[in-house]
Amino acid sequence: MNPLELLFQPGIVQTVVLGSALLGSLAGALGAFAVLRQQSLLGDALSHATLPGVCLGFLVAGTRDLGAILLGAFLAGALAALSVMLITRATRLKTDAALGIVLSVFFAVGVVLLTLAQGRPGAAQAGLSTFLFGQAAAILRADLWIMGGVAALASGTLAALWKEVKLVTFDPDYARALGLPVLAIEATITLLIALAIVVGLQLAGVILMVALLIAPAAAARQWVQSLGAMVWLSAAFGAAAGVTGALISASARGLATGPVVVLVASAVVLVSLVAAPGRGLVWRWLREARARRAIAGRRVLAAFQGIAEAHGDRTYPTEEGMVETLIGRPAPGVMDRLERDGFIRRVDHPPETTRHWELTEKGHARADRERGDRKP
Amino acid sequence: MQDQPLHEPQFALHVEDLTVTYGAQPALWDIDLDIPPGVMAAVVGPNGSGKSTLLKSVLGLLRPVAGHVRLFGRPSGAMRARVGYVPQRTAVDWDFPTTVLDVVMMGLYGRIGWLRRPGAAHRAQAMAALAELGMQDYADRQISQLSGGQQQRVFIARALVQEADLYLLDEPLAAVDAMTERVIMDLLKRLRDQGRTIVVVHHDLTTVQRYFDWMVMMNVRIIGQGPVAEVFTAENLRAAYGGQLALIEGGAVTPAPARTEPPP
């Protein structure tokens, strides 16, 4: 059926929007912990590793039974997480190498199984390939119940274990010293992240799912001052990216959701990295420019004071050219700003017609203070 | 646990035959250690001598190959509430989105218990601990905006709210300014004078005699332990530091310049 027709039938749009909002916010909220625990790549490996599980779930059930497919995906993801742990413990390989190996081996097996499964009757209807890049329009009303259940489980767990999860995320050694069961709490967080990945596959697909986990959290970190705010904002960003991506992909024929969601989420990250107050690049540039101006102003005042002292006259009218000879031409606006702030004053010095300045008492005081600051 | 007979309860900290390894290398070898209650003890030794490992083993964060640890006569697992831990401040990511007050309240999480949120009384307790360290004006500050010395004070305030009987501090004076060092040492002395036991991993040999009344010198093995005057000898220093140390007359000493210690 034509996805455009599907979209405009009553109920379909609603299902897509609801499903995408649920999945986006679930992945966004849990992604905050993945990012803060510096486990972003574990999410990537887990989501790629679910592909063989998706295919096996379909092969065993024989139809597009979301329950069977998600169970398969979850088991494959759990096996992948376990493999990463075993490889890093038993061999000399570091975590990044273990993640790379697990990701590629599981994904390769998944692609082989996918080609097998697509030869089976009913595979086209099951839309197995939609799990590769995600297809929001394929979300069924019945699927919403599964997504809602996982979202309820995740938010309930986070609410109940909030302070413990926060402490384990921030300082696991101290948490252990307080007697908290750190391993169990860490396992719970990883389990919830794996669940979010599994139910999010329909929306973003195994290849790009990690973007729904990481991008909202990375963007949210730029704007917030507390973990609670970060989780909420990350969930909101995730929902927004999910819904926008789903609607765009559902309104165009054959446009997979995953890439669109990633593009939307990346735009949010970009804006956050550049513009967020305090942490954004623009703010840093502004701060640096202000610091540069202040330094330039200080050098000019020091030069004026030096010349005035050399002449034994606190109000010695200094020709601008002298200052330029001493410290180079001040950047545009520096002299004007010093004059506006009352540190220097224009004076006439006939018969010369060039610009002359004298240092005001305020200017002397500022120059004295700067000099004092530099004393050891 | 409570029913087990107390083992060496006269010591705040009792360690017997403790051996810990990383891979094949022993980080701690056959440690026997007793620290009486109410002392301010320095744990001193060169880089890689196992000082941090010793603290972590005492806290039960590491599993020893052999030996046991008792705190006031009981295993450390049963004594969590009476032990305050101050990790090295480089152990966490200070860009974590949270406030100073929030970090200090984490010291109360063990006592608040499951499913409960910290309340007004806990906030007041955390504020009082911050005030003891002169940090009350920073309560609502983001921890990412703190200087190194302020981070250290926040970590100590977090342990302080635990109202523990034994405090274990891992290099609390590393790279802090003179002002912070004084605030921290004054507080630790007050705690000691209240009868609490303080164990500090310490790097600066020039201040050991001034700050501490008890001392443990180690280098994988224990080299000496007891009152500072008895342990802080040229002979022990040579045994612990070997050639790294330029001895200046009568025990005033300067350690060799290398200072960075890899995290164990």
Residue B91, token pair as written in the block: 């152990």
Looking at residue B256, its pLDDT comes to: 40
Computed over every residue of chain B, the mean pLDDT equals: 90
Which chain B residues are within 8 Å of A161, Cβ to Cβ?
A: 114
3-class DSSP assignment, residue B200: strand
What average pLDDT does the segment B233-261 reach? 63
Looking at residue B244, its pLDDT comes to: 64
Nearest CA in chain A to B97: A226
- In this prediction the ipTM stands at 0.91
Residues in A whose CB is inside 8 Å of some CB of B read: 36, 38, 160-164, 166-167, 169-171, 173-180, 221, 224-227, 229-230
In angstroms, the CA B64 to CA A352 distance is 86
**CATH number, span A3-258:** 1.10.3470.10
The C-alpha angle A203, A209, A211, rounded to 5 degrees, equals 115
The answer to whether B109 contacts A178, with C-beta atoms less than 8 Å apart, is yes
> Of A174, A176, A188, A272, which to mutate for an interface test with B (greatest number of B Cβ within 10 Å)?
A174
Distance from CA of B250 to the nearest CA of A (A): 33
Computed over every residue of chain A, the mean pLDDT equals: 89
Alpha-carbon torsion (A267, A270, A271, A276), positive or negative: positive
In angstroms, the CA A176 to CA A55 distance is 40
What average pLDDT does the segment A234-261 reach? 89
For chain B, helix (H) and strand (E) counts, in that order, are 9, 11
> Which conformational region is residue A209 in: left (phi greater than 0), alpha (psi within -120 to 50 degrees), or beta?
alpha
The answer to whether A176 contacts B60, with C-beta atoms less than 8 Å apart, is yes
What average pLDDT does the segment B66-95 reach? 93
In angstroms, the CA B151 to CA A170 distance is 14
Maximal CA-CA distance, chain B: 59
Give the range among A127-136, A174-183, B36-45 with minimum mean pLDDT. A127-136
Give the range among A67-81, A319-333, B15-29, B164-178 with minimum mean pLDDT. A319-333
Spell out the domain ranges in chain B: 13-249
Nearest CA in chain B to A221: B97
Nearest CA in chain A to B141: A225
Looking at residue B81, its pLDDT comes to: 87
CA dihedral defined by A242, A240, A269, A276, rounded to 10 degrees? Answer: -170
Which chain B residues are within 8 Å of A177, Cβ to Cβ?
A: 59-61, 80, 83, 85
Residue A83 predicted with pLDDT over 50: yes
Q: Across the strands, what pairs with B13?
A: B35, B71
Looking at residue B134, its pLDDT comes to: 94
Looking at residue A7, its pLDDT comes to: 53
Q: What does the pLDDT look like over A15-45, one tens digit per residue?
A: 888 999 999 999 999 999 999 998 889 999 9
What average pLDDT does the segment B41-56 reach? 94
Which chain B residues are within 8 Å of A226, Cβ to Cβ?
A: 97-99, 102
Residue B89 predicted with pLDDT over 50: yes
3-class DSSP assignment, residue A17: helix
Q: What does the pLDDT look like over A162-185, one tens digit per residue?
A: 999 999 999 999 999 999 999 999
| B145 lies within 8 A of chain A by CB | no
Residue B260 predicted with pLDDT over 80: no
In angstroms, the CA A138 to CA A127 distance is 8
Looking at residue B34, its pLDDT comes to: 96
Give residue A375's pLDDT band: very low, low, confident or very high (50, 70, 90): very low
What average pLDDT does the segment A326-352 reach? 87
Top pLDDT among A254 and B110 is at: B110
What average pLDDT does the segment B8-27 reach? 90
The answer to whether A176 contacts B142, with C-beta atoms less than 8 Å apart, is no
Residue A282, token pair as written in the block: 């623009």
The C-alpha angle B14, B37, B261, rounded to 5 degrees, equals 60
What Rg value do the Cα atoms of chain A yield, rounded?
Answer: 31
Cis ω on the peptide bond leading into residue B172 (within 30° of 0)?
Answer: no
In angstroms, the CA A241 to CA A20 distance is 9
| B64 lies within 8 A of chain A by CB | no
Give the range among A276-285, A330-339, B10-19, B194-203 with minimum mean pLDDT. A330-339
Find tokens 């210690």 and name the residue. Answer: B261
Which chain A residues are within 8 Å of B76, Cβ to Cβ?
A: none
Percent of chain A with pLDDT over 70: 95
In CATH, which of 1.10.10.10, 3.30.1330.10, 3.40.1350.10, 3.10.20.30 is domain A283-374?
Answer: 1.10.10.10
Range list of H helices, chain A? 3-8, 12-36, 40-49, 51-61, 66-90, 95-118, 123-126, 130-133, 143-160, 162-170, 172-177, 182-221, 227-250, 257-275, 281-310, 320-327, 334-340, 361-374
Cβ atoms B225, B216 nearer than 8 A: yes
| B83 lies within 8 A of chain A by CB | yes
> Of A35, A36, A170, A279, which to mutate for an interface test with B (greatest number of B Cβ within 10 Å)?
A170
Give the range among A28-42, A244-258, B131-145 with minimum mean pLDDT. A244-258
Give residue B243's pLDDT band: very low, low, confident or very high (50, 70, 90): low
Instruction: Specify the DSSP class assigned to residue A141.
Output: T
Could you tell me how many residues make up chain B? 264
> Which conformational region is residue A314 in: left (phi greater than 0), alpha (psi within -120 to 50 degrees), or beta?
alpha
Burial B119-129 (b: 16+ CB within 10 A, else e): eeebbebbbeb
Strand order in the sheet with B25-35: B25-35, B13-22, B66-71
Alpha-carbon torsion (A28, A31, A33, A36), positive or negative: negative
Q: How many CB pairs under 8 A join A and B?
A: 71
List, as ranges, residues 4-43 from B with C-beta within 8 Å of A: none
What average pLDDT does the segment B141-147 reach? 95
> Of B1, B90, B99, B106, which to mutate for an interface test with A (greatest number of A Cβ within 10 Å)?
B106
Q: Determine the topology of domain B13-249 in CATH.
A: Rossmann fold (3.40.50)
The answer to whether B87 contacts A174, with C-beta atoms less than 8 Å apart, is yes
